[in-house]
Amino acid sequence: MSSENRLAIQEVIAKFANSFDLQDWDGLEACFTESIYMDYSDLNGAAPKTIAAKEYVALRRTALERIKLHHLVGNYEIEFADANSATCRASMMVWRKADEAVTTSHCFYIFQLAQSAAGWRISHITQKVFWNEGASPLGASAK
């Protein structure tokens, strides 16, 4: 696939991460297809499920708007199934701070993406946690 497609996928993953940090909830929603499959079971034990992108964003906003966040993403590995679908594996560190409590998650994400007229959008998110450091996973119920 073209380097333009690879760059566009990296940009949507970066926007996903930065939107949390900036509390840009509209920007976060723009990263997704209409519904998304999410699996955060490594972090919070919740069963994987498919929900509307609007619901995903609303849940995160409620749980995380009082928490300071910083996501750092890299080590992108992108594979194209065809011209309109791809998988991106990326490493991520997520810092969460509430008052004096700080938690850091060292994790690996697997994103599935679909291309439409609007560009590349995330349709699946799976987070695999290598380890957490700190008091407790702040906001883990939503992240």
Contact (Cβ atoms closer than 8 angstroms) between residue 130 and residue 107: yes
What CATH code is assigned to 3-134? 3.10.450.50
Task: Work out whether strand 119-134 and strand 32-39 pair parallel, antiparallel, or are unpaired.
Answer: parallel
Burial of 37 (0-12, 13-18, 19+ CB in 10 A): middle
Residue type, 8: A
Task: Say if residues 30 and 57 touch (Cβ distance below 8 Å).
Answer: no
**pLDDT score of 142:** 43
- 């450091």: which residue's tokens? 133
Q: What is the mean pLDDT of each run of 10 residues along the chain (143 residues)?
A: 93 98 97 96 90 96 92 97 97 92 94 95 97 71 42
Give pLDDT, residue 45. Answer: 84
* pTM exceeds 0.85 for this model: yes
Q: What is the DSSP string of 81-97?
A: EETTEEEEEEEEEEEEE
Question: Do residues 106 and 130 lie in contact, with contact meaning Cβ atoms separated by under 8 Å?
Answer: yes
In the chain, where the domains are located? 3-134
